[in-house]
Amino acid sequence: MGKIAFVFPGQGAQAVGMGRDIAEADPASRALFEAADHALGYDLSRLIFEGPESELKLTYHTQPALLTTSIAYLELFRRRHDVRPDFVAGHSLGEYSALVAAGVLGFEDAVRTVRARGQFMDQAVPSGEGAMAAVLGAGREALQTLCIEISAGGNPVELANLNCPGQIVVSGSAAGVAALAERAKEAGAKRVILLEVSGPFHSSLMKPASAKLAEVLEGLAMQDASVPVVANVNAGPLTEPGAIREALVEQVHSSVLWEDSVAWLLAQGVDTFIEFGSGSVLAGLIKKIDRSVTVISINSLEALDKYGQETPA
């Protein structure tokens, strides 16, 4: 019998209207969205369900919105099915959803923390000074060498998200990212796509945000994880609150080792990944890492109903 991992998406997966179907159909799900509103002191759920998109994609709204949606789908799934994961993992912001799933963080604490994380990330670098870009087709080592060369000239650019073979996101100063885009073919890149983001996330330019987040996390109650949480910063399992705190602080300015995390899970015998939240971004990445695994996206009431029909309870 293979093992199961629950996985949770990060920024970029958001969509206006996400989670609305379960909030309308299920009172307990509706109550979860209302708990997020209460925790933050503003109407987050209305922003999630109705938009506008321009507001929802502001990072300090996106982060609590995605976490709330992921946990709402997870909780409804849990009420219907006695399926326990062997591991949990999340992509960047999704790591906080994974921590809620593993019982490390309380839901309302997590909502408040990721809202603050979004604010700190937004404030860390003045608008227009940072950038991110997706690089398709380049080798990791060749791209890393190029980043080091360009950064040595005074315009930092770093590997931010190692998503799957042939898909790496770079982040840093606007000038550094532009220089890398110009020279990316040297690393074997086929295409470079500039991302619409408000800052150079997962680069060393985010260190001011890490420092502020450390203060928030210091005062946060955390429990031991009920199942190992595979951390973005080292693609290894964590269960102890002290180590988790350190990893979360480092995560803001470090590479998201998603491909490595999935590879580690595969090596532990995981053959089923269940993604909770908006869209199916992680399902796509996981399939590019290993086509043979089962990946299920629980991102709608329809998907929840289908799971019940296709899978023995």
Does the annotation count 92 as an active-site position? yes
The active-site residue out of 45, 70, 92, 261 is 92
Alpha carbon 181 to chain centroid, angstroms? 24
Does the annotation count 81 as an active-site position? no
Query: Which H or E run includes 7?
Result: strand 3-8
The active-site residue out of 61, 91, 97, 202 is 202
- DSSP string computed for the chain: --EEEEEE--TT---TTTTHHHHHH-HHHHHHHHHHHHHHTS-HHHHHHH--HHHHTSHHHHHHHHHHHHHHHHHHHHHH-----SEEEESTTHHHHHHHHTTSS-HHHHHHHHHHHHHHHHHHS-TTSEEEEEEES--HHHHHHHHHHHHHTT--EEEEEEEETTEEEEEEEHHHHHHHHHHGGGGT-SEEEE---SS-TTSGGGHHHHHHHHHHHHTS-----SS-EE-TTTSSEE-SHHHHHHHHHHHTTS-B-HHHHHHHHHHTTEEEEEEESSS-HHHHHHHHH-TTSEEEEE-SHHHHHHHHHHS--
Tell me which residues are annotated as active site: 92, 202
